[in-house]
A and B are shown apart, each in its own frame.
Chain A
Amino acid sequence: MWAYQKRLQYPVNIKKKDLRMAKLLVTQYGGSNGELAAALRYLNQRYTMPDNKGKALLTDIGTEELAHIEMISTMVYQLMKDATLEEIEAAGLDSHYAEHNKALYPTDANGVPFTVTYFATTGDPLADISEDMAAEQKARAVYENLIDLTDDPDVIGPLLWLRQREVVHYNRFKELFDYYQEKLNPKQQMIDNKMVSDNNNNVNNFMNEVENNFNPISDFLNNFTQKM
Chain B
Amino acid sequence: MYNYNNYLQNDYVRNTTPNSMMNNNQPNLYTPQEGYDKGNLFANLYQPYKNYQPPTLKSRTEKGKLFLELSRYAFAAHELNLYLDIHPDDATMLALFNDYRVRANNLMMEYEKKYGPLTVSSDDLSSSFLWEKEEWPWEGGAN
Residues of A within 8 A of B (CB): 3-13, 53, 56-57, 60-61, 64, 70, 73-74, 77-78, 137, 140, 144, 147, 153, 156-157, 160-165, 167-172, 174-176, 179, 207, 210-211, 214-215, 218
Contacts and interface: CB of A to CB of B under 8 A. Distances in A.
Chain A interface, >50% SS class: helix
Q: Which size bracket describes the interface of B in this complex? A: 35 or more
Contact of A147 (B42, B47, B49): B49
Chain B interface, >50% SS class: loop
Contacts of A53: 85-86, 88
B100 to A, nearest CB: 15
A56 B87 CA distance: 11
B86 A175 contact: yes
Given A6-B117, A7-B118, A211-B1, A57 B85 contact: yes
B67 to A, nearest CB: 7
Interface of B: 1-2, 4, 21-23, 36, 38-40, 42, 45-47, 49, 52, 54-55, 57, 67, 70-71, 75, 78-79, 81-83, 85-88, 117-121, 131, 134, 136-138, 140-143
A194 to B, nearest CB: 17
Given A7-B67, A211-B4, 14 more contacts: A5-B118, A7-B71, A7-B137, A11-B57, A11-B143, A53-B85, A53-B86, A160-B39, A164-B38, A164-B54, A168-B45, A171-B23, A210-B4, A211-B1
